[in-house]
Structure 1
Amino acid sequence: MPPGKPVDPSYLRLPSDLALLQDRLASRMWNGDLPVGEDSETAMATATKRRKTRATADLRLARAVSGPPGKDGLWQHIRQKLVLGDIRHEAVDAEIESFRHNPAHLDALARRGEPFLHYLASEIERKGLPMDVLVVPMVESAFDPLAVSPRDAAGLWQIVRSTGEEHGLTVDENYDGRYDIPASTSAALSYLKHLGTVFNGDWLLALAAYNAGEGAVQRAVAASLKAGRDGSFWTLDLPAETRAYVPRILALSSIIAHPEGYGLKLRKIQNKPYLTRVEVDSKVRVAEVVAGSGLPEQEFFKMNPALKPGVQPPKRRYDVLLPVESAAALASCLDGTKPVTFRKNGGRRGATLSALSRHSGHG
């Protein structure tokens, strides 16, 4: 995720009605050839063209009838809050066809993301963002909290240092907030909300900006308008990586919305919290938190990759992400720790252990 750039109001002459935008985009085609830049972008362009040749001409959405609430667990809750799942385009069809040919990849994404999905969906909902944003870490890092790109974007949300610091992350030699799942999620959602505002609710442009940079998309929109086009995503001259990135997000959103319509099946995930945040006082050492959680050290650091064994945590209260049962165990045995939940209106409060147990379905 590249750093943001100052906003020029002249670039904001964009459609704001999402329903109208979807209708308009449904029949749009790419304008011109994919640009070729660095080697990675050349490879991306080649792969995209290859996927297009494999896409079947009759691949169209065969709508699946949704089952009763709760039938499909967390996915059912997620799909009810998607807003981009019905956008149609040949590039989106090509990406869907790629997943249809490789359903094991879709299953691997869901399996790797399973511990985080409920937490991420709850945070996205709390921030008032489209649930399609949940697909961003699928595409950015394949839900690998330790992922690092050649451009030094890091963590689940692939945040570069400057953007992370701009949105409240601490990055120093002992602690890198880009690997902190609660902190990086907050920063990424803050940035995405900013981009949604900058681009007047056009989430295709906002998602493109998350990948290519705010300024790059603003300049591409200006060039499109100057050339007499409408400034929509499909008319922009952007890097090949970005031109593949947005259709991939739209494809996954569509698959989550209508899996049976594409002959796919999503891995069953229960619609209840698996992880919860625990606030820890700065005086509490990480080793004490690991011991108090009752988790194997390897599992603890998998959920909290920003923390390191033997390294002092930030000199302030910090968060750890733990399974609900482990959070309750930690809070009961270690002073200076407190599970955190959120009210429906976004207000933050410390959870009592009994409330935490009821909320998670345990006890």
Structure 2
Amino acid sequence: MSKFCFVLRPLSLLLAAGLLMPVADAQAQRVSARDRDRITVLETRMAAAEKRYTDALALVDAADPKGQGEADAALEDMEDVLNDCVGQRGCQMGNLLATYKRLLKGQADAGDGSDDELGIATGPVLADPDHVAPLVADVPEAARAAQLLNDHRHAFDEMVEYNPAVQAGIRRWLTDMRPALLTSYENYANLRQVMWPEWEKRGLPEALLFGIMAKESNGRVHANSRAGAAGLMQFMPATGRRFGLGPDGTGFDTRYDARSAAEASAAFINERMRGLNNNIEMALAGYNGGEGRAARVFRESGGQSFWTQWSYNEFPAETRDYVPMVIAAAWIFLHPQQYGVEFPKVNAQPATIRLAKSTTIYELTICLGSNNTRDGYMRVLRNMNPRYQADGWIPAGTVINATTRIAGLYNRYCVSGPRADLARTLITADVNAAIIRPQAATLHGSVAVGDISSAQVTPVAVAPAPAAATTPAPARSTAPRQHTVARGDTLNAIARRYNCQVPQLARANGLRAPAYALKPGQKLKLEGCR
């Protein structure tokens, strides 16, 4: 509750010094008894709103979901009182506002007295006066204003250079790449519970984690590059193995696991930082352009900045673009309102779902709908459950990761009912069933020609069939057919294509659930397929 104690003290003083202050004798003589009674009622309402607000902050601190709503309602009560005060004779609105301003100024002066404490810019790094850590649970506006007096400058701001290259990166994120930035934020918000702790306990800035993830994968767990990098943080196989990532024995590559990728990336960055005199730009250059190259450039330049001409030119164009783009994304993450960015509000409170019936992530995406989202919940489910393919069947009774909102929608729409039935119908729809296959339709030795929907059919004489050959037709081979796995194939899709049962197909080919990992070029026996 320590954060909110700072907030409540100025508010309490404000009410005591402003609304609850006795009216001066001269003013009292000009206000009627009826007006004084009305002012007293306003004072009582404001005191009750303060009490409600205080209680709400206690709920917020205890992670009670009711706290936010109660706090907002209490602030609305206060706003109503202030509005009524405007029209009430004798109510001292000016005193209230002047008192509030002096209290905030006085709290700022209680710092070290430097310009930085007051948010006055002394260089190119501008503190964002509206900034609130983006993924902290929302707190009421009155609380934000007071809390910010202790948070005018972020440590990350002092660790990197805010130069024209970073500014150009910010320009790109705010224009053509704005959708990617917002998508990255939304994806990160749903994974923050498992990723951020790994960086926090290693003393690394959260903004840097977000910046790397946004540039590397836009927050898509299953992202892959042509060079072989994989996962949220795009680890190459060899580097991943060095930091504990790779196949885990079940067919799953832990480079796709958000927590494991966060832990490995934090270890990698810290290792680079230790060898590069805590230079973030050089550490990022090593992350993208090769740790050996970064170490050599740093050594041969005598520890000079990444931005010095010789060092800068020693890195490939991709790295020279990568470093400022990561820093730019991190900068916006810390200063969203300075750039007019409103990140989406995400209900990311974690929850689990025990599946009432077998399903796929595609099916869940359909029955969950898009309640309070822009794109629905498929990406959230895939990111939180990276072991499962989007079209792979997940057995009933399996516990999957989700959020409280998804869990509520699942119980409402996906267990039973019209939407659940519709989702199952769409998921199991077979394109082949739409094809009308020709049949040897005959009519008294004639073939019907024309529109089959017409009531009149023109018979056409059919020539006698030649005598049947005496040689018997060869028996159909009973040997199982084969399918060569192509890039992007999944076992479930192959089973649907050949009308197979997934479990039987998996057993025939030694594939283990739930991943059913396939490799391009792999030959599959199509046993049990029709």
**Length-normalised TM-score, structure 2:** 0.40
Structure 2 residue corresponding to 1:322, chosen from 398, 401, 412: 401
Counterparts of residues 275-294 of structure 1 (less than 5 Å): 275=350, 291=355
Q: What is the CA-CA distance between 1:129 and the residue it aligns to?
A: 1.4
Is 2:129 the counterpart of 1:129?
A: no
Which deviations, in whole Å up to 9, do the C-alpha atoms of 1:161-204 show, x marking residues without a partner? 11111111232681211112222222222212212222221111
Structure 2 residue corresponding to 1:305, chosen from 382, 386, 391: 386
- Contact in 1 for aligned 2:276/2:298 (Cα 8 Å): no
> Distance in 2 between the 1:124 and 1:194 partners?
13
> Distance in 1 between the 2:156 and 2:212 partners?
14
Which deviations, in whole Å up to 9, do the C-alpha atoms of 1:130-149 show, x marking residues without a partner? 22223211111111111111
Which residue does 1:52 correspond to in 2? none
Which residue does 2:339 correspond to in 1? 262
> Distance in 1 between the 2:318 and 2:210 partners?
19
> Distance in 2 between the 1:71 and 1:181 partners?
17
Q: CA, structure 1 residues 68+197, in 2 after alignment: closer, same or farther (shift >3 Å)?
A: closer
Which residue does 1:233 correspond to in 2? 306
Q: CA, structure 1 residues 87+70, in 2 after alignment: closer, same or farther (shift >3 Å)?
A: closer
**What amino acid is aligned across from residue 402 of structure 2 in structure 1?**
P
Counterparts of residues 14-93 of structure 1 (less than 5 Å): 63-66=127-130, 73=137, 83-84=156-157, 87-93=161-167
- Contact in 2 for aligned 1:82/1:253 (Cα 8 Å): no
- Contact in 2 for aligned 1:73/1:268 (Cα 8 Å): no
- Contact in 2 for aligned 1:274/1:324 (Cα 8 Å): yes
Q: What is the CA-CA distance between 1:246 and the residue it aligns to?
A: 1.0
> Distance in 1 between the 2:254 and 2:332 partners?
31
Q: What is the CA-CA distance between 1:91 and the residue it aligns to?
A: 0.7
> Distance in 2 between the 1:326 and 1:210 partners?
36
- Contact in 1 for aligned 2:133/2:334 (Cα 8 Å): no
Q: What is the CA-CA distance between 1:73 and the residue it aligns to?
A: 3.9
- Contact in 1 for aligned 2:134/2:334 (Cα 8 Å): no
- Contact in 2 for aligned 1:212/1:242 (Cα 8 Å): yes
The alignment partner of 2:345 has SS state of coil
**What amino acid is aligned across from residue 90 of structure 1 in structure 2?**
P
Q: CA RMSD in A?
A: 3.9
Task: State the structure with more CA Rg.
Answer: 2
> Distance in 2 between the 1:292 and 1:185 partners?
32
Is 2:274 the counterpart of 1:197?
A: yes
> Distance in 2 between the 1:290 and 1:301 partners?
16
Q: What is the CA-CA distance between 1:99 and the residue it aligns to?
A: 2.4
**What amino acid is aligned across from residue 152 of structure 1 in structure 2?**
G
Q: What is the CA-CA distance between 1:88 and the residue it aligns to?
A: 1.4
Q: What is the CA-CA distance between 1:159 and the residue it aligns to?
A: 0.5
**What amino acid is aligned across from residue 287 of structure 2 in structure 1?**
Y
Q: What is the CA-CA distance between 1:326 and the residue it aligns to?
A: 10
Unaligned runs of 5+ in 2: 1-123, 363-377, 409-530
The alignment partner of 2:246 has SS state of coil
> Distance in 1 between the 2:269 and 2:400 partners?
22
Which deviations, in whole Å up to 9, do the C-alpha atoms of 1:43-93 show, x marking residues without a partner? xxxxxxxxxxxxxxxxx7664313678997479999976514763111111
> Distance in 1 between the 2:231 and 2:156 partners?
26
> Distance in 1 between the 2:246 and 2:328 partners?
34
Counterparts of residues 206-245 of structure 1 (less than 5 Å): 206-225=283-302, 230-235=303-308, 236=311, 237-245=314-322
Q: CA, structure 1 residues 97+297, in 2 after alignment: closer, same or farther (shift >3 Å)?
A: closer
Which residue does 2:261 correspond to in 1? 184
Please identify, of 62-71 and 258-267, the stretch whose mean Cα deviation from structure 2 is larger: 62-71
The size of the alignment, in residue pairs, is 246
> Distance in 2 between the 1:67 and 1:159 partners?
32
Structure 2 residue corresponding to 1:144, chosen from 210, 220, 226: 220
Structure 2 residue corresponding to 1:249, chosen from 326, 330, 338: 326
Structure 1 residue corresponding to 2:245, chosen from 169, 175, 181: 169
Q: What is the CA-CA distance between 1:122 and the residue it aligns to?
A: 2.9
**What amino acid is aligned across from residue 251 of structure 1 in structure 2?**
A
Q: CA, structure 1 residues 169+157, in 2 after alignment: closer, same or farther (shift >3 Å)?
A: same
- Contact in 2 for aligned 1:119/1:275 (Cα 8 Å): no
Q: CA, structure 1 residues 234+71, in 2 after alignment: closer, same or farther (shift >3 Å)?
A: closer
Q: CA, structure 1 residues 64+128, in 2 after alignment: closer, same or farther (shift >3 Å)?
A: closer
Q: CA, structure 1 residues 69+209, in 2 after alignment: closer, same or farther (shift >3 Å)?
A: closer
Q: CA, structure 1 residues 165+232, in 2 after alignment: closer, same or farther (shift >3 Å)?
A: same
Q: CA, structure 1 residues 264+310, in 2 after alignment: closer, same or farther (shift >3 Å)?
A: closer
> Distance in 1 between the 2:259 and 2:407 partners?
18
- Contact in 1 for aligned 2:199/2:209 (Cα 8 Å): yes
Which residue does 2:43 correspond to in 1? none
The alignment partner of 2:170 has SS state of helix
The alignment partner of 1:233 has SS state of coil
